[in-house]
Amino acid sequence: MNIIAISGSLRKDSYNTALLRGMQLLVPAGMQIEIATISTLPLYDSDTEATFPATAQELKNKIAAADGIIISTPEYNRSIPGVLKNAIDWLSRPYGKNSFAKKPVLVAGVSGGKIGTAVAQSHLRQILLHLDADIIGQPELYLGPASEIFDEEGNIADDSTKELLTKALTVLADRIK
Protein backbone atom coordinates (compact mmCIF):
# COMPACT_ATOMS: atom_id res chain seq x y z
CA MET A 1 0.00 0.00 0.00
CA ASN A 2 1.48 3.27 -1.15
CA ILE A 3 0.25 6.36 0.67
CA ILE A 4 0.85 9.97 -0.30
CA ALA A 5 0.89 12.34 2.67
CA ILE A 6 0.36 16.08 2.47
CA SER A 7 1.16 18.55 5.24
CA GLY A 8 -0.83 21.78 5.29
CA SER A 9 2.20 23.62 6.68
CA LEU A 10 5.27 24.72 4.73
CA ARG A 11 7.45 25.65 7.70
CA LYS A 12 10.54 23.57 8.39
CA ASP A 13 9.69 22.74 11.99
CA SER A 14 5.99 22.17 11.32
CA TYR A 15 4.24 19.98 13.87
CA ASN A 16 1.99 18.66 11.13
CA THR A 17 4.91 17.60 8.96
CA ALA A 18 6.53 16.08 12.06
CA LEU A 19 3.32 14.13 12.65
CA LEU A 20 3.54 12.67 9.14
CA ARG A 21 7.19 11.72 9.73
CA GLY A 22 6.11 10.03 12.96
CA MET A 23 3.38 8.16 11.10
CA GLN A 24 5.99 6.83 8.66
CA LEU A 25 7.43 4.91 11.63
CA LEU A 26 4.08 3.50 12.77
CA VAL A 27 2.79 1.98 9.53
CA PRO A 28 1.30 -1.52 9.50
CA ALA A 29 3.07 -4.21 7.48
CA GLY A 30 2.92 -3.56 3.75
CA MET A 31 2.27 0.19 4.00
CA GLN A 32 4.66 2.98 3.09
CA ILE A 33 4.08 6.72 3.32
CA GLU A 34 5.69 9.29 1.03
CA ILE A 35 5.43 12.91 2.14
CA ALA A 36 4.71 15.04 -0.93
CA THR A 37 5.56 18.70 -1.26
CA ILE A 38 2.99 21.38 -2.06
CA SER A 39 5.34 24.34 -1.69
CA THR A 40 6.29 24.31 -5.39
CA LEU A 41 2.73 24.56 -6.67
CA PRO A 42 1.86 27.90 -8.27
CA LEU A 43 -1.22 29.75 -7.07
CA TYR A 44 -4.22 28.24 -8.82
CA ASP A 45 -5.20 30.20 -11.94
CA SER A 46 -7.68 28.75 -14.42
CA ASP A 47 -5.86 30.60 -17.22
CA THR A 48 -2.89 28.24 -16.74
CA GLU A 49 -4.97 25.06 -16.58
CA ALA A 50 -4.73 24.28 -20.32
CA THR A 51 -0.95 23.93 -19.94
CA PHE A 52 -1.16 22.20 -16.59
CA PRO A 53 1.84 23.16 -14.36
CA ALA A 54 4.40 20.35 -14.14
CA THR A 55 4.51 20.39 -10.33
CA ALA A 56 0.74 20.04 -10.08
CA GLN A 57 0.69 17.25 -12.68
CA GLU A 58 3.49 15.45 -10.83
CA LEU A 59 1.46 15.51 -7.61
CA LYS A 60 -1.65 14.32 -9.46
CA ASN A 61 0.36 11.43 -10.94
CA LYS A 62 1.64 10.42 -7.49
CA ILE A 63 -1.87 10.41 -6.09
CA ALA A 64 -3.25 8.51 -9.07
CA ALA A 65 -0.67 5.79 -8.38
CA ALA A 66 -1.29 5.81 -4.60
CA ASP A 67 -3.72 3.61 -2.67
CA GLY A 68 -4.59 6.32 -0.18
CA ILE A 69 -3.90 9.83 1.08
CA ILE A 70 -3.12 11.31 4.50
CA ILE A 71 -3.55 15.04 5.11
CA SER A 72 -2.29 16.63 8.31
CA THR A 73 -3.31 20.24 8.61
CA PRO A 74 -2.76 23.17 10.95
CA GLU A 75 -5.74 25.36 11.77
CA TYR A 76 -5.44 28.91 10.43
CA ASN A 77 -8.19 31.29 11.51
CA ARG A 78 -10.55 28.38 12.16
CA SER A 79 -10.01 26.88 8.69
CA ILE A 80 -7.32 25.20 6.61
CA PRO A 81 -4.23 27.14 5.43
CA GLY A 82 -4.44 28.73 1.98
CA VAL A 83 -1.50 26.64 0.75
CA LEU A 84 -3.45 23.45 1.43
CA LYS A 85 -6.60 24.77 -0.23
CA ASN A 86 -4.47 25.77 -3.22
CA ALA A 87 -3.09 22.23 -3.49
CA ILE A 88 -6.58 20.72 -3.21
CA ASP A 89 -7.87 23.07 -5.91
CA TRP A 90 -5.10 22.00 -8.31
CA LEU A 91 -5.69 18.33 -7.49
CA SER A 92 -9.41 18.72 -8.20
CA ARG A 93 -8.68 19.89 -11.76
CA PRO A 94 -8.95 19.62 -14.73
CA TYR A 95 -12.72 19.20 -14.64
CA GLY A 96 -13.55 15.49 -14.64
CA LYS A 97 -10.08 14.50 -13.40
CA ASN A 98 -10.48 15.10 -9.68
CA SER A 99 -7.63 13.24 -7.93
CA PHE A 100 -9.63 12.63 -4.73
CA ALA A 101 -12.57 10.71 -6.20
CA LYS A 102 -13.03 7.41 -4.33
CA LYS A 103 -9.55 7.68 -2.72
CA PRO A 104 -9.33 6.65 0.93
CA VAL A 105 -8.24 9.76 2.88
CA LEU A 106 -7.15 9.93 6.51
CA VAL A 107 -7.36 13.43 8.01
CA ALA A 108 -5.25 14.61 10.96
CA GLY A 109 -4.00 17.80 12.53
CA VAL A 110 -1.86 19.12 15.38
CA SER A 111 -2.12 22.52 17.03
CA GLY A 112 -0.32 24.33 19.78
CA GLY A 113 -3.53 24.40 21.77
CA LYS A 114 -6.01 21.81 23.00
CA ILE A 115 -8.59 22.27 20.23
CA GLY A 116 -6.34 20.16 17.98
CA THR A 117 -7.38 21.70 14.63
CA ALA A 118 -10.94 20.34 15.01
CA VAL A 119 -12.54 23.29 13.22
CA ALA A 120 -10.02 23.20 10.35
CA GLN A 121 -10.49 19.45 9.95
CA SER A 122 -14.24 19.90 9.89
CA HIS A 123 -13.83 22.32 6.95
CA LEU A 124 -11.39 19.92 5.29
CA ARG A 125 -13.86 17.04 5.59
CA GLN A 126 -16.55 19.18 3.92
CA ILE A 127 -14.25 19.87 0.98
CA LEU A 128 -13.23 16.22 0.68
CA LEU A 129 -16.86 15.12 0.82
CA HIS A 130 -17.63 17.41 -2.12
CA LEU A 131 -14.66 15.86 -3.95
CA ASP A 132 -16.13 12.38 -3.37
CA ALA A 133 -13.15 11.17 -1.33
CA ASP A 134 -13.54 8.03 0.77
CA ILE A 135 -12.96 9.83 4.10
CA ILE A 136 -12.05 7.82 7.19
CA GLY A 137 -14.68 8.85 9.77
CA GLN A 138 -13.03 7.35 12.86
CA PRO A 139 -10.73 7.73 14.61
CA GLU A 140 -10.66 11.52 14.57
CA LEU A 141 -7.13 12.85 15.03
CA TYR A 142 -7.53 16.20 16.83
CA LEU A 143 -4.09 16.40 18.36
CA GLY A 144 -2.75 18.95 20.81
CA PRO A 145 -1.13 20.62 22.57
CA ALA A 146 1.90 19.89 20.40
CA SER A 147 4.24 20.49 23.35
CA GLU A 148 2.81 17.35 24.99
CA ILE A 149 3.15 15.21 21.85
CA PHE A 150 6.64 15.88 20.48
CA ASP A 151 10.10 15.91 21.98
CA GLU A 152 12.60 18.68 21.15
CA GLU A 153 13.70 16.89 17.96
CA GLY A 154 10.13 16.67 16.66
CA ASN A 155 9.70 12.95 17.37
CA ILE A 156 6.37 11.72 18.71
CA ALA A 157 7.11 11.14 22.38
CA ASP A 158 3.60 10.50 23.69
CA ASP A 159 2.55 6.84 23.84
CA SER A 160 -1.21 7.47 23.69
CA THR A 161 -0.71 9.53 20.49
CA LYS A 162 1.38 6.72 18.99
CA GLU A 163 -1.38 4.22 19.85
CA LEU A 164 -4.07 6.42 18.29
CA LEU A 165 -2.04 6.95 15.12
CA THR A 166 -1.26 3.24 14.83
CA LYS A 167 -4.97 2.51 15.10
CA ALA A 168 -5.80 5.15 12.47
CA LEU A 169 -3.21 3.74 10.05
CA THR A 170 -4.66 0.25 10.53
CA VAL A 171 -8.14 1.60 9.76
CA LEU A 172 -6.73 3.21 6.61
CA ALA A 173 -5.08 -0.09 5.61
CA ASP A 174 -8.35 -1.97 6.17
CA ARG A 175 -10.27 0.58 4.10
CA ILE A 176 -7.80 0.15 1.24
CA LYS A 177 -8.10 -3.64 1.39
Ligand X SMILES: Cc1cc2nc3c(=O)[nH]c(=O)nc-3n(C[C@H](O)[C@H](O)[C@H](O)COP(=O)(O)O)c2cc1C
Binding site for ligand X (CB under 6 A): 9, 11, 14-16, 74-78, 111-113, 115
Q: Minimum CB separation from ligand X for residue 123, in Å? A: 11
Strand partners, 71: 6, 107
β-strands 2-7, 68-72 pairing: parallel
Residue closer to ligand X, measured from CB, 73 or 98: 73
**Alpha helices per DSSP H over the chain:** 15-24, 54-65, 82-91, 118-130, 159-176
Q: Minimum CB separation from ligand X for residue 73, in Å? A: 8
Element of type H or E holding 4: strand 2-7
Residue closer to ligand X, measured from CB, 42 or 112: 112
Kindly report the backbone phi and psi dihedral angles of residue 152, in degrees, each rounded to the nearest multiple of 5, phi listed first.
-70, -20
Q: Minimum CB separation from ligand X for residue 30, in Å? A: 28
Q: Minimum CB separation from ligand X for residue 81, in Å? A: 8
d(CA 124, CA 128) in angstroms, rounded, equals: 6
Residue closer to ligand X, measured from CB, 74 or 104: 74
